[in-house]
Structure 1
Amino acid sequence: MYPLPDLRTARTHIRLPREDDAERLLAYRLGNRAHLAPWEPERDEGYFSLEGCERAIAEQIAAAHADRAYPLLALDPDERAVVASFTFSNVARGIFQACHLGYGVAAEQQGKGVMFEVLQAGLSWAFEDLRMHRVMANYMPENQRSERLLQRLGFEREGYARSYLKIAGAWRDHVLTALLHPDARG
């Protein structure tokens, strides 16, 4: 079992969701529904319900305890609201020691450096505590904010995948990037 995160940044508290986060998660999902829709899979109405959030949190906790994925919430310091979320998913161990990174930030936090701050802390945790060798992150070519964020974090372009993921109801191309453990960077 790898240590679960309890990270603090200047503006956030980052941790695995808990059962009592369901209402906060629902408020984040509802408040950012239109903002995040162009970058996410199509969601059914259950995703935007309290029951859907409760079910998601239970699944997320189980995934972390099984070392399959680490879905994390970034909350304001008083834990009143979710300001961002990110997930280390598709965890592969053995000779690969890698995962994928996905993330989203609340509309009112966009452009303030919060996602950079949160991901810096999260990536340090993934490399140090989860012992990842490689973290992969992919973005749609038109998502210039994600491109700049990943570049600033040190991710390097590794490829281009046509019709890679079904986002907002359509198969979309993605730029493939990765960040290696600091000891492996040359």
Structure 2
Amino acid sequence: MIVLPYLQTPRARIRLAEASDAPMLLRYREENHAHLSPWEPLREPEYYTLAHCLKTITEGREYALQDRGYPLMAFDPDEQTILATFTFANVVRGVFQGCHLGYGVAERMQGHGLMREILEPGIAWAFGELGLHRVMANYLPRNERSAKLLAKLGFEREGYARRYLRIAGVWEDHVLTARICPDG
């Protein structure tokens, strides 16, 4: 049985969100709408409601219990604010043992090394507790911050996918990267 994570770094507590965190998630979404929207799918107005935040949290907990995905949030040490989010999505077991990694950081925290700080123990947890062999992360070619972050985290370029995902309403190319479990 998989134990849901509760990870700590010097600046963050990392865990699955709970229903009581919905107002914080709404605040994170509203405060970072302009900052994150160039890197995300188009969002319906409903996305920026408390009801949708609660639905997202409930579904995320169900995915984790079903070992399908782990949408984690990095809170400040007092757990009063969401600083960043990251998800191990599309978990595939069997002979593959892999997933996709997606992430976002609050605008005010960008450029301060927080994503690396929280992703390092997160990825270690994915390789350790989850027993994954491969974590894949893809980024837009113009997203130099993600390219540098993933390289620092040990991800290697594996390919280039044309018109891979629909981001901000446009089919965008992506650089495909992956990191393999160091123990397997």
Calculate the TM-score normalised by the size of structure 1: 0.98
Deviation at 1:107, TM superposition (A): 0.1
Letter in 2 for 1:112: H
Q: Name structure 1 gaps, 5 residues minimum.
A: none
Segments of structure 2 that go 5 or more residues without pairing to the other structure are: none
Deviations 1:133-154 (A, max 9, x none): 0000000000000000000000
Partner secondary structure for residue 52 of structure 2? helix
Whole-Å separation in 2 of the counterparts to 1:108 and 1:170 = 26
Report the Cα offset of residue 59 of structure 1. Answer: 0.5
Q: Distance in 1 between matches of 2:82 and 2:121?
A: 16
The separation in 2 between residues aligned to 1:3 and 1:135, in whole angstroms, is: 19
**Matched position secondary structure for 1:182:** coil
Mapped pair 1:109 → 2:109: yes
Instruction: Give the corresponding residue for 1:7.
Output: 7
Distance 2:131 2:26 in 1: 31
Correspondence 1:16-27 to 2 at 5 A: 16-27=16-27
Read off the aligned partner of 2:76 and give its amino acid letter.
D
**Identity level (%):** 58
Q: Give the Å deviation of 1:31.
A: 0.4
| 3-state SS, counterpart of residue 148 of structure 1 | helix
Does residue 157 in structure 1 map to residue 132 in structure 2? no
Whether 1:32 and 2:32 are equivalent positions in the alignment is yes
Q: Residue 3 of structure 1: CA displacement?
A: 1.1
Q: RMSD value over aligned CA atoms?
A: 0.5
Q: Write the distance in 2 (CA, Å) between the matches of 1:9 and 1:132.
A: 22
Q: Secondary structure at the match of 2:183?
A: helix
Distance 2:17 2:121 in 1: 17
In 2, the alpha carbon distance for the partners of 1:3 and 1:126 equals 11
Across the two proteins, how many residue pairs are aligned to each other? 184
Q: Which amino acid aligns with 2:29?
A: R
* Corresponding letter in the other structure for 2:91: V
* Matched ranges for 1:21-170 at <5 A: 21-170=21-170
Distance 2:174 2:99 in 1: 17
Structure 1 residue 55: deviation in Å?
0.7
Normalising by structure 2, we get a TM-score of 0.99
- AA aligned opposite 2:19: E
Give the C-alpha shift of residue 38 in structure 1. Answer: 0.3
SS at match of 1:121: helix
Counterpart residue identity of residue 67, structure 2 = D
Cα distance in 1 for residues equivalent to 2:183 and 2:159: 23
